Structure 1
């Protein structure tokens, strides 16, 4: 029964709970040791894995389905790619920004966004189809009620009477937030969110369950302490601070992750994250 439950983000469909846990645990242990010198046993940590929900059914070819700009759907999928593009252009002078986007047809505009993102430092090495597939996973979570429910059930099964802390990355922070809100009966616990898009207006914030009221998101009843960590250059959390939308009880912390700003590992190895985990476990 784990004291810490981890929740991953998008594009993990070909991994598994143990694969991801083996990847995350050393970084988490390093951040905790850097902050406090304390070691957390491996058996005290578990991964709420849901990546397989997005694994494509059998199709021709291997890996991610063949996708191009013409496959990008209007609405959330398109808007998310355009927002990533605008943010990447602002953070990286080498990335050309959007120009008069409202005047351009969707396929051409999206193709420009994909070209720019695939050559940016942030998304370097990601193919166009993987970028589209990542945006599609976000859209699917918010528009497919069955997928949303199955993903939240994966986290529900990992949380027990021994759970003291949830650490959630990227889309996983949305999963953790909504699941915690749905379980006011759970014991008090702490929450650490890393690279979270929860406060992104129009794309994420207004789509949350329960819905925000008067521009404010609900506070998850079981959460007694909430640390939100964001890299200033991370493109995914377009809004870096959560406190203005979810309450001043949130402690927003800014860090620097280097070139891989959204990678969970530098988030976890940061002293600030390690200290937040230690506080959540009562180790300080």
Structure 2
């Protein structure tokens, strides 16, 4: 059985660790969730390999890039990033008082709090604060790492070569791409049309976030994304509370074969939560049997 290849998202940089070691450590941490989820199906435990690229976003980039913690808040962003964050919140459904596009500096935290409150149902105030804190860090880190990937000379090519190299070497039937990794995987499959993947599963994908969609290579044409030549089936899964995956239905823009929603609770965006979800297990089982 060919291994499953994971392509990680944000918050995965391990300082001072060789890429192969970092990849193995991340796999050791998240693979048990996938194995547990697959236990209900008549399949063998799969081998899992990670395409680790976080070190490439760190090299020669500013100190904020791939920060291991701290500093991920709205006030630490550039003016352009704050405008992108405001647009992100509008896309996620913010419709409260004020003009998010006109005053992105002062009120982003308030807007995010209102948005989580409106979508959070019966969340306690403490739980809502935890969600807001986590989402703020995720949005800031996503925009910063997207900047490092798309704007720094040669970075896109280096990351795509790394991810393509792992897919080419392992020849997986299944690639699971999380968060920013789904963006990178989509571009990589286009940039390397020799790669063949039977099933791509994107989870927590920001491919439709406006500030990221505008930077895609290849760009959208007439508002639509093209299907990579070597891609078979594409399944997208988004948690109902995952404000990174907004709007959640990738199929409205990209050639997705199945759009699924799930509820991972307060652990709305982590790769581990998605790997432990039965929808993902059901999607990949026919390809690893």
| C-alpha spacing 1:120/1:278, structure 2 compared with 1 (3 Å) | same
In the alignment, what sits opposite 2:4?
4
| C-alpha spacing 1:123/1:80, structure 2 compared with 1 (3 Å) | farther
Please list the CA deviations of residues 28-62 of structure 1 after superposition, one character each: whole Å capped at 9, or x if unmatched. Answer: 1122223x232324xx2100111223447797xx9
In the alignment, what sits opposite 1:78?
82
Residue in structure 1 matching 2:268, options 235, 256, 261: 261
Residue in structure 1 matching 2:48, options 42, 45, 48: 45
In the alignment, what sits opposite 2:121?
none
Question: Is contact 2:182–2:207 with CA below 8 Å preserved after alignment?
Answer: yes
**Range with greater deviation from structure 2 (119-128 or 179-188):** 119-128
Question: Is contact 1:122–1:261 with CA below 8 Å preserved after alignment?
Answer: no
| C-alpha spacing 1:98/1:48, structure 2 compared with 1 (3 Å) | farther
In the alignment, what sits opposite 1:93?
none
In the alignment, what sits opposite 1:242?
250
| C-alpha spacing 1:122/1:235, structure 2 compared with 1 (3 Å) | farther
Once the two structures are TM-superposed, the CA of residue 211 in structure 1 deviates from its matched residue by 1.1
Once the two structures are TM-superposed, the CA of residue 97 in structure 1 deviates from its matched residue by 5.1
Unaligned stretches of 5+ in structure 2? 16-21, 117-125
- Cα separation, 2, equivalents of 1:188 and 1:69: 38
How large is the RMSD of aligned CA atoms in angstroms? 3.3
In the alignment, what sits opposite 1:136?
144
> What TM-score, normalized by structure 2, do the two folds share?
0.79
Aligned length: 269
- Cα separation, 1, equivalents of 2:225 and 2:93: 29
SS of aligned partner of 1:135:
helix
SS of aligned partner of 2:27:
helix
Please list the CA deviations of residues 225-271 of structure 1 after superposition, one character each: whole Å capped at 9, or x if unmatched. Answer: 11111111111011111112122x52111111111111112211111
SS of aligned partner of 1:203:
helix
- Cα separation, 2, equivalents of 1:69 and 1:188: 38
**Range with greater deviation from structure 2 (237-246 or 171-180):** 237-246
Once the two structures are TM-superposed, the CA of residue 123 in structure 1 deviates from its matched residue by 3.6
Residue in structure 2 matching 1:194, options 203, 211, 214: 203
Once the two structures are TM-superposed, the CA of residue 140 in structure 1 deviates from its matched residue by 2.0
In the alignment, what sits opposite 1:28?
34
Once the two structures are TM-superposed, the CA of residue 10 in structure 1 deviates from its matched residue by 1.0
In the alignment, what sits opposite 2:258?
251
SS of aligned partner of 2:98:
coil
SS of aligned partner of 1:40:
coil
In the alignment, what sits opposite 1:101?
100
Residue in structure 2 matching 1:270, options 260, 270, 277: 277
Question: Is contact 1:33–1:274 with CA below 8 Å preserved after alignment?
Answer: no
Question: Is contact 1:20–1:47 with CA below 8 Å preserved after alignment?
Answer: yes
